[in-house]
Amino acid sequence: MKKFLTILFCLALISGSLFAAGSNEAPAEEVDSNVVKVALIIENTIDDKGWCQAMHDGIIAAQKSLPGRIEYNYTEKMKPVDAGSAARQYVAQGYDIIIAHGAQYKNLIMEMAEEYPDVSFAFGTSAEVGPDNVFTYMPESEETGYLSGIIAGMTTKANVIGLVGPVDAGDAARYNRGFVLGVQAVNPKAKIMVAHSGSFSDFVKAGEVAQSQIRSGADVLTGSSQQALGALRAVADYPNEEIWWVGQDIAQIHINEGYKVIAASSYNYASVIEGLVAKLDAGVLGGEVIPLNFSNGGFVFEFNPALETMYAGEIEEKVNAAIDSFNAASGTINYTSVDYSEL
Protein backbone atom coordinates (compact mmCIF):
# COMPACT_ATOMS: atom_id res chain seq x y z
CA MET A 1 0.00 0.00 0.00
CA LYS A 2 2.77 2.38 0.96
CA LYS A 3 4.71 1.59 -2.19
CA PHE A 4 1.58 2.16 -4.23
CA LEU A 5 0.97 5.53 -2.58
CA THR A 6 4.61 6.54 -3.02
CA ILE A 7 4.42 5.70 -6.73
CA LEU A 8 1.13 7.61 -6.93
CA PHE A 9 2.79 10.61 -5.32
CA CYS A 10 5.69 10.50 -7.77
CA LEU A 11 3.27 10.27 -10.69
CA ALA A 12 1.32 13.22 -9.32
CA LEU A 13 4.49 15.28 -9.09
CA ILE A 14 5.57 14.36 -12.60
CA SER A 15 2.16 15.10 -14.06
CA GLY A 16 2.01 18.37 -12.10
CA SER A 17 5.40 19.39 -13.44
CA LEU A 18 4.44 18.52 -16.99
CA PHE A 19 1.20 20.41 -16.61
CA ALA A 20 3.12 23.36 -15.22
CA ALA A 21 5.52 23.38 -18.17
CA GLY A 22 2.54 23.99 -20.43
CA SER A 23 2.14 23.32 -24.09
CA ASN A 24 0.56 25.11 -26.92
CA GLU A 25 0.86 22.45 -29.52
CA ALA A 26 -2.07 22.04 -31.83
CA PRO A 27 -2.96 18.96 -33.79
CA ALA A 28 -1.65 18.84 -37.31
CA GLU A 29 -4.13 20.07 -39.85
CA GLU A 30 -4.22 20.12 -43.57
CA VAL A 31 -3.39 23.64 -44.63
CA ASP A 32 -3.25 25.66 -47.77
CA SER A 33 0.13 25.20 -49.49
CA ASN A 34 0.42 28.98 -49.59
CA VAL A 35 0.54 29.09 -45.80
CA VAL A 36 3.93 29.10 -44.06
CA LYS A 37 3.82 27.20 -40.80
CA VAL A 38 6.02 28.94 -38.21
CA ALA A 39 6.91 27.39 -34.84
CA LEU A 40 8.59 29.27 -32.02
CA ILE A 41 10.50 27.73 -29.12
CA ILE A 42 11.38 30.04 -26.21
CA GLU A 43 13.00 29.64 -22.83
CA ASN A 44 10.74 32.13 -21.06
CA THR A 45 7.15 33.15 -21.81
CA ILE A 46 5.39 35.14 -24.51
CA ASP A 47 4.53 37.86 -22.02
CA ASP A 48 7.89 38.33 -20.31
CA LYS A 49 8.07 41.99 -21.37
CA GLY A 50 11.45 41.26 -22.85
CA TRP A 51 13.29 38.98 -25.25
CA CYS A 52 10.65 36.28 -25.83
CA GLN A 53 7.67 38.61 -25.96
CA ALA A 54 9.41 40.71 -28.62
CA MET A 55 9.66 37.72 -30.98
CA HIS A 56 6.12 36.54 -30.24
CA ASP A 57 4.73 40.02 -30.85
CA GLY A 58 6.74 40.22 -34.08
CA ILE A 59 5.24 37.01 -35.40
CA ILE A 60 1.72 38.14 -34.48
CA ALA A 61 2.38 41.46 -36.26
CA ALA A 62 3.68 39.61 -39.32
CA GLN A 63 0.53 37.47 -39.33
CA LYS A 64 -1.48 40.70 -39.55
CA SER A 65 0.69 42.25 -42.23
CA LEU A 66 0.61 39.05 -44.32
CA PRO A 67 -3.02 37.97 -43.90
CA GLY A 68 -3.58 34.25 -44.32
CA ARG A 69 0.09 33.55 -44.99
CA ILE A 70 1.35 32.49 -41.56
CA GLU A 71 0.16 29.70 -39.30
CA TYR A 72 1.83 30.07 -35.94
CA ASN A 73 2.41 27.97 -32.84
CA TYR A 74 4.78 28.30 -29.91
CA THR A 75 6.18 26.40 -26.95
CA GLU A 76 7.29 28.23 -23.82
CA LYS A 77 9.65 27.43 -20.95
CA MET A 78 11.90 25.20 -23.01
CA LYS A 79 15.36 24.63 -21.65
CA PRO A 80 17.79 23.68 -24.41
CA VAL A 81 17.86 20.11 -23.13
CA ASP A 82 14.05 19.83 -23.48
CA ALA A 83 13.64 21.80 -26.68
CA GLY A 84 14.63 18.92 -28.96
CA SER A 85 11.42 16.99 -28.35
CA ALA A 86 9.32 20.09 -29.04
CA ALA A 87 11.24 20.80 -32.24
CA ARG A 88 10.84 17.20 -33.44
CA GLN A 89 7.10 17.37 -32.84
CA TYR A 90 6.92 20.51 -34.94
CA VAL A 91 8.88 18.77 -37.70
CA ALA A 92 6.46 15.83 -37.51
CA GLN A 93 3.53 18.24 -37.78
CA GLY A 94 4.92 19.66 -40.99
CA TYR A 95 6.09 23.08 -39.84
CA ASP A 96 8.08 24.94 -42.48
CA ILE A 97 10.33 26.89 -40.17
CA ILE A 98 11.21 26.35 -36.53
CA ILE A 99 12.60 29.34 -34.69
CA ALA A 100 14.51 28.60 -31.50
CA HIS A 101 14.80 32.04 -29.97
CA GLY A 102 18.15 32.18 -28.25
CA ALA A 103 21.81 31.46 -28.85
CA GLN A 104 21.57 28.67 -26.26
CA TYR A 105 19.69 26.57 -28.84
CA LYS A 106 22.54 26.68 -31.37
CA ASN A 107 23.75 23.09 -30.90
CA LEU A 108 20.22 21.72 -31.01
CA ILE A 109 19.40 23.59 -34.20
CA MET A 110 22.62 22.48 -35.88
CA GLU A 111 21.83 18.84 -35.09
CA MET A 112 18.22 19.15 -36.20
CA ALA A 113 19.21 20.93 -39.40
CA GLU A 114 21.46 18.04 -40.35
CA GLU A 115 18.76 15.52 -39.49
CA TYR A 116 15.99 17.34 -41.40
CA PRO A 117 17.58 19.08 -44.40
CA ASP A 118 14.20 19.94 -45.95
CA VAL A 119 13.00 21.92 -42.94
CA SER A 120 14.14 25.46 -42.30
CA PHE A 121 15.43 26.47 -38.86
CA ALA A 122 16.38 29.79 -37.32
CA PHE A 123 18.05 30.89 -34.11
CA GLY A 124 19.59 34.04 -32.74
CA THR A 125 21.37 36.03 -31.69
CA SER A 126 24.22 34.94 -33.86
CA ALA A 127 26.29 36.60 -36.51
CA GLU A 128 27.53 33.25 -37.86
CA VAL A 129 26.37 32.06 -41.25
CA GLY A 130 24.67 28.71 -40.66
CA PRO A 131 24.11 25.68 -42.92
CA ASP A 132 21.85 25.88 -45.98
CA ASN A 133 18.70 25.33 -43.94
CA VAL A 134 19.54 27.53 -40.94
CA PHE A 135 18.94 31.26 -40.71
CA THR A 136 20.56 33.28 -37.97
CA TYR A 137 19.56 36.75 -36.83
CA MET A 138 21.52 39.40 -35.03
CA PRO A 139 20.10 42.61 -33.59
CA GLU A 140 22.63 45.40 -34.10
CA SER A 141 21.53 46.79 -30.79
CA GLU A 142 24.45 49.17 -30.45
CA GLU A 143 22.08 51.50 -32.32
CA THR A 144 19.34 51.35 -29.68
CA GLY A 145 21.98 51.51 -26.95
CA TYR A 146 23.40 54.65 -28.53
CA LEU A 147 19.99 56.35 -28.40
CA SER A 148 19.53 55.36 -24.76
CA GLY A 149 23.02 56.68 -24.05
CA ILE A 150 22.24 60.08 -25.58
CA ILE A 151 19.14 60.37 -23.39
CA ALA A 152 20.92 59.23 -20.25
CA GLY A 153 23.95 61.46 -20.85
CA MET A 154 21.79 64.53 -21.35
CA THR A 155 19.37 63.75 -18.51
CA THR A 156 21.75 62.96 -15.69
CA LYS A 157 22.25 65.70 -13.14
CA ALA A 158 24.58 63.72 -10.90
CA ASN A 159 26.75 62.78 -13.87
CA VAL A 160 26.56 59.18 -12.69
CA ILE A 161 24.80 56.61 -14.86
CA GLY A 162 24.04 52.95 -14.15
CA LEU A 163 24.12 50.17 -16.72
CA VAL A 164 22.59 46.86 -15.59
CA GLY A 165 23.74 44.16 -17.99
CA PRO A 166 22.73 40.48 -17.95
CA VAL A 167 25.91 38.87 -19.33
CA ASP A 168 28.54 40.41 -21.56
CA ALA A 169 27.53 38.60 -24.72
CA GLY A 170 25.37 38.81 -27.83
CA ASP A 171 23.02 41.71 -28.37
CA ALA A 172 23.24 42.70 -24.69
CA ALA A 173 26.96 43.38 -25.07
CA ARG A 174 26.30 45.42 -28.23
CA TYR A 175 23.53 47.41 -26.52
CA ASN A 176 25.73 48.19 -23.52
CA ARG A 177 28.68 49.33 -25.62
CA GLY A 178 26.45 51.42 -27.85
CA PHE A 179 25.02 52.97 -24.70
CA VAL A 180 28.50 53.92 -23.47
CA LEU A 181 29.28 55.56 -26.82
CA GLY A 182 25.97 57.45 -26.75
CA VAL A 183 26.69 58.85 -23.29
CA GLN A 184 30.22 59.80 -24.23
CA ALA A 185 29.02 61.56 -27.39
CA VAL A 186 26.93 64.03 -25.38
CA ASN A 187 28.46 64.03 -21.91
CA PRO A 188 32.07 62.83 -21.80
CA LYS A 189 32.37 63.72 -18.11
CA ALA A 190 29.62 61.34 -17.00
CA LYS A 191 30.71 58.33 -14.98
CA ILE A 192 29.15 55.10 -16.26
CA MET A 193 28.89 52.25 -13.79
CA VAL A 194 28.70 48.96 -15.68
CA ALA A 195 27.65 45.86 -13.76
CA HIS A 196 26.26 42.50 -14.83
CA SER A 197 23.78 40.36 -12.95
CA GLY A 198 25.16 37.22 -14.59
CA SER A 199 21.71 36.09 -15.75
CA PHE A 200 19.21 36.99 -18.46
CA SER A 201 16.23 36.19 -16.25
CA ASP A 202 17.15 36.73 -12.58
CA PHE A 203 15.43 40.05 -12.01
CA VAL A 204 16.01 39.85 -8.25
CA LYS A 205 19.74 40.12 -8.91
CA ALA A 206 19.20 42.86 -11.49
CA GLY A 207 17.27 44.75 -8.83
CA GLU A 208 20.20 44.35 -6.46
CA VAL A 209 22.58 45.67 -9.12
CA ALA A 210 20.35 48.71 -9.65
CA GLN A 211 20.01 49.34 -5.90
CA SER A 212 23.78 49.25 -5.60
CA GLN A 213 24.19 51.75 -8.44
CA ILE A 214 21.50 54.09 -7.12
CA ARG A 215 23.13 54.09 -3.66
CA SER A 216 26.39 54.96 -5.41
CA GLY A 217 24.80 58.03 -6.95
CA ALA A 218 23.40 56.93 -10.30
CA ASP A 219 20.35 58.95 -11.34
CA VAL A 220 19.72 57.44 -14.79
CA LEU A 221 19.86 53.70 -15.40
CA THR A 222 19.33 51.30 -18.26
CA GLY A 223 19.47 47.58 -18.88
CA SER A 224 18.41 44.91 -21.33
CA SER A 225 16.75 41.45 -21.42
CA GLN A 226 14.06 40.15 -19.05
CA GLN A 227 16.20 40.74 -15.96
CA ALA A 228 16.02 44.50 -16.58
CA LEU A 229 12.49 44.59 -15.17
CA GLY A 230 13.97 44.07 -11.71
CA ALA A 231 16.27 47.03 -12.22
CA LEU A 232 13.37 49.19 -13.40
CA ARG A 233 11.41 48.12 -10.32
CA ALA A 234 14.33 49.24 -8.15
CA VAL A 235 14.24 52.64 -9.87
CA ALA A 236 10.50 52.85 -9.13
CA ASP A 237 11.31 52.36 -5.45
CA TYR A 238 12.30 56.04 -5.53
CA PRO A 239 8.99 57.52 -6.71
CA ASN A 240 9.68 61.05 -5.54
CA GLU A 241 13.32 61.29 -6.51
CA GLU A 242 14.87 62.32 -9.82
CA ILE A 243 15.99 58.83 -10.75
CA TRP A 244 15.10 57.68 -14.26
CA TRP A 245 15.19 54.70 -16.58
CA VAL A 246 15.80 54.32 -20.31
CA GLY A 247 14.42 51.02 -21.57
CA GLN A 248 15.24 48.38 -24.11
CA ASP A 249 11.62 47.31 -24.43
CA ILE A 250 8.74 49.63 -25.28
CA ALA A 251 6.37 47.52 -23.18
CA GLN A 252 8.15 49.00 -20.15
CA ILE A 253 6.58 52.41 -20.87
CA HIS A 254 3.12 50.93 -20.41
CA ILE A 255 3.54 49.08 -17.10
CA ASN A 256 3.10 50.46 -13.57
CA GLU A 257 6.73 51.57 -13.45
CA GLY A 258 6.42 53.33 -16.81
CA TYR A 259 6.31 56.75 -15.15
CA LYS A 260 10.06 56.34 -14.64
CA VAL A 261 10.81 55.40 -18.27
CA ILE A 262 11.87 58.38 -20.38
CA ALA A 263 12.02 56.38 -23.62
CA ALA A 264 12.51 52.84 -24.87
CA SER A 265 13.47 50.91 -27.97
CA SER A 266 12.21 47.53 -29.07
CA TYR A 267 13.12 44.86 -31.56
CA ASN A 268 10.63 44.64 -34.41
CA TYR A 269 10.83 41.00 -35.33
CA ALA A 270 7.90 41.41 -37.72
CA SER A 271 10.37 42.55 -40.37
CA VAL A 272 12.50 39.46 -39.75
CA ILE A 273 9.51 37.15 -40.05
CA GLU A 274 8.27 38.86 -43.20
CA GLY A 275 11.76 38.50 -44.65
CA LEU A 276 11.88 34.83 -43.71
CA VAL A 277 8.51 34.18 -45.38
CA ALA A 278 9.76 35.90 -48.56
CA LYS A 279 12.90 33.77 -48.56
CA LEU A 280 10.95 30.55 -48.01
CA ASP A 281 8.66 31.57 -50.88
CA ALA A 282 11.80 31.92 -53.01
CA GLY A 283 12.98 28.47 -51.96
CA VAL A 284 15.80 29.71 -49.71
CA LEU A 285 15.84 27.67 -46.49
CA GLY A 286 18.79 29.24 -44.73
CA GLY A 287 22.48 30.01 -44.98
CA GLU A 288 22.01 33.72 -44.24
CA VAL A 289 22.40 36.12 -41.35
CA ILE A 290 19.49 38.52 -40.95
CA PRO A 291 20.46 41.72 -39.17
CA LEU A 292 18.03 43.88 -37.20
CA ASN A 293 18.66 47.61 -37.37
CA PHE A 294 16.82 50.87 -37.90
CA SER A 295 17.45 50.92 -41.64
CA ASN A 296 15.65 47.61 -42.24
CA GLY A 297 12.86 48.34 -39.78
CA GLY A 298 14.22 45.92 -37.21
CA PHE A 299 14.08 48.49 -34.40
CA VAL A 300 11.42 50.86 -33.18
CA PHE A 301 11.85 53.68 -30.70
CA GLU A 302 9.39 55.64 -28.54
CA PHE A 303 9.60 58.49 -26.10
CA ASN A 304 7.25 58.35 -23.14
CA PRO A 305 4.65 61.05 -23.91
CA ALA A 306 3.93 61.46 -20.19
CA LEU A 307 7.50 62.73 -19.67
CA GLU A 308 7.63 65.06 -22.66
CA THR A 309 8.99 67.97 -20.64
CA MET A 310 12.09 65.91 -19.92
CA TYR A 311 13.11 65.30 -23.51
CA ALA A 312 11.42 67.98 -25.62
CA GLY A 313 14.04 70.12 -27.28
CA GLU A 314 17.69 69.25 -27.49
CA ILE A 315 17.41 65.60 -26.40
CA GLU A 316 14.65 64.88 -28.87
CA GLU A 317 16.56 66.62 -31.66
CA LYS A 318 19.75 64.66 -31.01
CA VAL A 319 17.89 61.36 -30.79
CA ASN A 320 15.98 62.04 -34.00
CA ALA A 321 19.21 63.04 -35.75
CA ALA A 322 20.81 59.76 -34.64
CA ILE A 323 17.80 57.75 -35.85
CA ASP A 324 17.98 59.56 -39.21
CA SER A 325 21.65 58.64 -39.53
CA PHE A 326 20.89 54.99 -38.64
CA ASN A 327 18.08 54.91 -41.20
CA ALA A 328 20.51 56.19 -43.81
CA ALA A 329 23.22 53.62 -43.08
CA SER A 330 23.69 50.73 -40.67
CA GLY A 331 26.90 49.65 -38.99
CA THR A 332 28.07 53.17 -38.17
CA ILE A 333 28.58 52.59 -34.43
CA ASN A 334 31.98 51.09 -33.66
CA TYR A 335 30.86 49.32 -30.51
CA THR A 336 33.92 47.07 -30.36
CA SER A 337 36.03 50.10 -29.46
CA VAL A 338 34.51 50.28 -25.97
CA ASP A 339 36.67 49.04 -23.12
CA TYR A 340 34.83 49.03 -19.79
CA SER A 341 38.06 49.14 -17.83
CA GLU A 342 38.73 52.61 -19.21
CA LEU A 343 35.44 54.10 -18.01
Partner 1 sequence: MNFIVNILSLGIPFSVALLIASLGEMFNQRAGVFNLGCEGIMAMGAFLGMLVPYSIGQGGPTSGMYNVLGLGLAMVVGALLGIFFAFVVVTFRAPQGIAGIGLQMFGVGTAGTLFRHFIGGTQSVPGIGNLPIPGLSKIPLIGPIFFSHNILVYLAFLFVPLAWYILFKTPWGLRVRAVGTNPRAADSIGIQVNRVRYQALAVGGALAGLAGAYLSLAQVKMFSDEIIAGRGFIAVALVYFGHWHPVKIMGGALLFSLAQALQLAIQGQGINFPYEFAVMLPYVMVIIVLAFSRESQLLGPTSLGKSFNREKRV
Say if residues 146 and 134 touch (Cβ distance below 8 Å).
Answer: no
Pairing of strands 120-124, 70-75: unpaired
Q: Does 195 bind partner 1 (CB under 8 A)?
A: yes
Between CA 191 and CA 181 the distance in angstroms is 12
Ramachandran sector of residue 170 (left: φ over 0; alpha: ψ -120 to 50; beta: rest): left
Between CA 247 and CA 228 the distance in angstroms is 8
CB of 8 to partner 1, least distance (A): 10
Q: Does 16 bind partner 1 (CB under 8 A)?
A: yes
Q: Does 25 bind partner 1 (CB under 8 A)?
A: no
Nearer to partner 1, 180 or 292 (CB): 180
Nearer to partner 1, 170 or 275 (CB): 170
Binding segment for partner 1 (CB under 8 A), chosen from 123-131, 195-203, 259-267, 277-285, is 195-203
x/- track of binding to partner 1 for residues 212-251 (CB under 8 A): xx-xx---------x--xx--xx-xx--------------
Q: Does 169 bind partner 1 (CB under 8 A)?
A: no
- Candidate residues 61, 91, 202, 259; the one interacting with partner 1 per rule CB under 8 A: 202
* C-alpha atoms less than 13 angstroms from C-alpha of 172 in its C-beta half-sphere: 26
Number of residues that bind partner 1 (CB under 8 A): 57
Q: Does 48 bind partner 1 (CB under 8 A)?
A: yes
Q: What are phi and psi of 73, to 5 degrees?
A: -145, 155
| Binding residues among 136-165 for partner 1 as defined by CB under 8 A | 162
CB of 7 to partner 1, least distance (A): 10
CB of 214 to partner 1, least distance (A): 10
Nearer to partner 1, 136 or 227 (CB): 227
- Candidate residues 2, 64, 157, 189; the one interacting with partner 1 per rule CB under 8 A: 2
Strand partners, 247: 264
CB of 271 to partner 1, least distance (A): 24
- Candidate residues 5, 32, 81, 240; the one interacting with partner 1 per rule CB under 8 A: 5
* C-alpha atoms less than 13 angstroms from C-alpha of 121 in its C-beta half-sphere: 32
Say if residues 141 and 326 touch (Cβ distance below 8 Å).
Answer: no
Say if residues 42 and 225 touch (Cβ distance below 8 Å).
Answer: no
For 215, the enclosing helix (H) or strand (E) is helix 203-215
Give me the helices (H) in 47-200, please.
51-65, 80-92, 106-115, 142-155, 170-186
Angle at 64 between CA 22 and CA 330, to 5 degrees: 95
Say if residues 227 and 200 touch (Cβ distance below 8 Å).
Answer: yes
x/- track of binding to partner 1 for residues 275-304 (CB under 8 A): ------------------------------
Tell me the three state secondary structure of residue 254: helix
- Candidate residues 211, 295, 296, 330; the one interacting with partner 1 per rule CB under 8 A: 211
x/- track of binding to partner 1 for residues 64-103 (CB under 8 A): -------------x--------------------------
Q: For the chain, count helices (H), then strands (E).
A: 11, 12
- Candidate residues 37, 196, 279, 318; the one interacting with partner 1 per rule CB under 8 A: 196
Say if residues 317 and 303 touch (Cβ distance below 8 Å).
Answer: no
Between CA 41 and CA 98 the distance in angstroms is 8
Q: How many CB atoms lie within 10 A of CB 15?
A: 10
CB of 165 to partner 1, least distance (A): 8
Residues in touch with partner 1 (CB under 8 A)? 2, 5-6, 9-10, 13-14, 16-17, 19-22, 44-45, 47-49, 53, 77, 162, 168, 191-199, 201-205, 207-209, 211-213, 215-216, 226, 229-230, 233-234, 236-237, 255-257, 340-341, 343
